């Protein structure tokens, strides 16, 4: 193994989180030698993987963008290509792109207390050659989507359908929908993104949902952000707009959780204002759960509602009885003719990139661990994981975790320490990691770690609270074992 294969820090993943990790390491731990391992051939992660029509952020870019490089555009609900360009430009601007090793999908990571090193192994995707690297600290920035494929439920009669069926995660440029009858199965963020975009060129688009989702319209341009950028330095304007959106988002989330009936009525009124008194809002936009029990769907400039009003798209709330050669038969007896079926039926979550972890030869099973400060795992030394919020932008929490990890790395180096390992006491309690009723979350919960019932082992999904805990609270708080 060459000297270049033994590093201080290894970052797994070159998406939104991985590029942030590179920046914070360079700024806060300039003496640490690091590399970013990326399994694919490109920067961007999710924003390079997903190519379906209309792909865009479901959070405002003033909070999804980096704190150190504010989102530069007036359009805050941005398309996927613009987000990918922003991530790529950020990597180039700070020289982070020079630290990325592409075609390095990682399979295993093993910690040795004897050497105080992680050993990361895998097989290169371009040459098929095995690789092996070691490091003192591991930063997991692989997100939580399974890149191998999305979730598609059992559809009776699937083999009978003569048209094309595609999951949005497998969308390619040769998927033709011009002038075709398209049925999008699903009601989440992907579906409400696809429908107005497909409707621009398809003959007709039907969004077939088993149950409704809360949908909120928002202007794609933040007028306050635009005015501030004209009058203030870029960083100052970015910080102000970010805090404005963080606090407004937190206030709305708290309102929904405290007064769910009033929040439901408010959201319903917004849909009614868009679609008019004759639209059956209570059938198609009246979920059985409370607001923020699942993530709300954000549509820019009411594009979904405009597509529905134009007649180019419709929503059908029903269940599938079977597929046949030319369409879908519903349990109500209605039939939907289709040339193309898009299964926007959810994603698969995979924890820590699906790597197999061992500590001193013992396999680490995530469900048997607890998260510490939403950043580390009990019993796992020198590892931090970039995780986002369920009720706010991914990057907000991700950057806090990375800043915290850099504090830890610097602390270890300054004091000549080999490792730090979270150790929960007997009274920390036990709860599922995520309190969310969405199907993709519920399917993944059994394979994910747990959380406790009190700080610092409990997640509060609160940026202000996490900021104090991760940036200001003392490192040696009695829950970390330093060696």
- Residue 2: its pLDDT value, please? 53
Task: Summarize the confidence of residues 406-423 as an average pLDDT.
Answer: 96
Asked which of 284, 308, 343 is the last residue of a domain, the reply is: 343
Q: Could you tell me if 332 and 353 lie in one domain?
A: no
- Residue 271: its pLDDT value, please? 95
- 28-87 residue pLDDT tens: 999 999 999 999 999 999 899 899 999 998 889 999 999 999 999 988 899 999 999 999
103 part of a folded domain: yes
Asked which of 314, 343, 372 is the last residue of a domain, the reply is: 343
Task: Summarize the confidence of residues 118-138 as an average pLDDT.
Answer: 96
Q: Could you tell me if 302 and 363 lie in one domain?
A: no
Range of the domain at 443: 3-147+348-482
Q: Count the domains in the chain.
A: 2
| Neighbouring C-beta atoms of residue 467, cutoff 10 Å | 16
Q: Could you tell me if 194 and 332 lie in one domain?
A: yes
10 Å CB burial of residue 1 (0-12, 13-18, 19+) is: exposed
Q: Could you tell me if 165 and 309 lie in one domain?
A: yes
As a whole number of angstroms, the distance between CA 209 and CA 343 comes to 11
- 283-342 residue pLDDT tens: 999 999 999 888 889 999 999 999 999 999 999 999 999 999 999 999 999 999 999 999
Q: Could you tell me if 143 and 270 lie in one domain?
A: no
Q: Could you tell me if 458 and 365 lie in one domain?
A: yes
152 part of a folded domain: no
> Residue 475's domain is classified under what CATH number?
3.50.50.60
pTM above 0.85, yes or no: yes
Q: Quick check: 103 and 41 in contact, CB under 8 A?
A: yes
Tell me if the bond preceding 104 is cis, omega within 30° of 0.
no
Q: Where are the beta strands (DSSP E) in 29-188?
A: 34-37, 100-101, 106-112, 117-123, 130-140, 164-166, 181-185
Q: Could you tell me if 280 and 304 lie in one domain?
A: yes
Q: Could you tell me if 175 and 308 lie in one domain?
A: yes
- Residue 437: its pLDDT value, please? 58
Backbone angles phi, psi at 88, to 5 degrees: -65, -45
Closest CA to 160 of 319, 320, 327, 318: 327
153 part of a folded domain: no
217 part of a folded domain: yes
Q: Could you tell me if 447 and 375 lie in one domain?
A: yes
Q: Could you tell me if 374 and 287 lie in one domain?
A: no
Asked which of 298, 321, 343 is the last residue of a domain, the reply is: 343
Q: Could you tell me if 368 and 393 lie in one domain?
A: yes
200 part of a folded domain: yes
- 355-368 residue pLDDT tens: 999 999 999 999 99
244 part of a folded domain: yes
Confidence of residue 150 (pLDDT cuts 50, 70, 90): confident
395 part of a folded domain: yes
Q: Could you tell me if 335 and 366 lie in one domain?
A: no
Residue corresponding to tokens 């931090």? 384
């Amino acid at each position: 193994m060459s000297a270049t294969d033994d590093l201080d820090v290894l970052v797994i993943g070159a998406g939104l989180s991985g590029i942030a990790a590179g920046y914070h390491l360079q700024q806060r731990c300039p003496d640490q030698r690091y590399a970013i391992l990326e399994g694919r051939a490109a920067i961007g992660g999710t924003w390079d993987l997903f190519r379906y029509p209309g792909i865009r952020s479901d959070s405002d870019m003033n909070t999804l963008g980096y704190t150190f490089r504010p989102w530069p555009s007036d359009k805050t609900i941005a398309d996927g290509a613009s987000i990918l360009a922003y991530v790529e430009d950020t990597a180039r601007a700070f020289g982070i792109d020079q630290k990325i090793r592409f075609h390095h999908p990682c399979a295993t990571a093993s910690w040795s207390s004897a050497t105080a090193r992680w050993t990361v192994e895998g097989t290169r995707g371009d040459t098929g050659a095995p690789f092996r690297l070691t490091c003192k600290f591991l930063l997991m920035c692989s997100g939580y989507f399974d890149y191998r494929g999305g979730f598609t439920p059992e559809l009776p009669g699937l083999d009978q359908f003569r048209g094309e069926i595609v999951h949005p995660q497998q969308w390619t440029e040769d998927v033709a929908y011009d002038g075709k009858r398209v049925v999008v199965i699903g009601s989440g963020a992907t579906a409400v993104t696809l429908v107005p975009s497909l409707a621009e060129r398809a003959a007709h688009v039907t969004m077939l949902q088993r149950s409704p989702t809360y949908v909120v319209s928002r202007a794609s341009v933040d007028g306050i952000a635009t005015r501030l950028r004209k009058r203030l330095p870029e960083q100052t304007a970015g910080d102000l707009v970010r805090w404005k959106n963080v606090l407004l988002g937190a206030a709305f989330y708290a309102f929904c959780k405290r007064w769910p009936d009033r929040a439901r009525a408010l959201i319903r009124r917004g849909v009614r204002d868009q679609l008019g008194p004759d639209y059956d809002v209570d059938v198609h936009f009246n979920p059985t759960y409370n607001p923020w029990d699942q993530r709300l769907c954000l549509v820019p400039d009411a594009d979904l509602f405009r597509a529905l009003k134009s007649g180019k798209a419709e929503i059908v709330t029903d269940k599938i009885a079977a597929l046949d050669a030319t369409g879908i038969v519903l349990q109500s007896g209605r039939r939907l003719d289709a040339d193309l079926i898009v299964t926007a039926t959810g994603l698969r979550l995979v924890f820590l990139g699906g790597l197999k972890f061992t500590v001193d030869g013992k396999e680490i099973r995530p469900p048997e661990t607890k998260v510490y400060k939403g950043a580390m795992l009990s019993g796992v030394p020198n590892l931090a994981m970039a995780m986002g919020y369920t009720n706010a932008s991914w990057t907000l929490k991700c950057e806090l975790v990375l800043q915290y990890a850099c504090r830890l790395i610097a602390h270890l180096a300054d004091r000549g320490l080999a490792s730090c390992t979270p150790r929960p006491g007997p009274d920390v309690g036990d709860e599922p990691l995520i309190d969310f009723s969405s199907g993709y979350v519920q399917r993944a919960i059994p394979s994910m770690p747990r959380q406790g019932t009190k700080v610092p082992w409990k997640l509060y999904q609160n940026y202000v609270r996490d900021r104090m805990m991760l940036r200001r609270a003392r490192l040696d708080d009695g829950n970390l074992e330093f060696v």
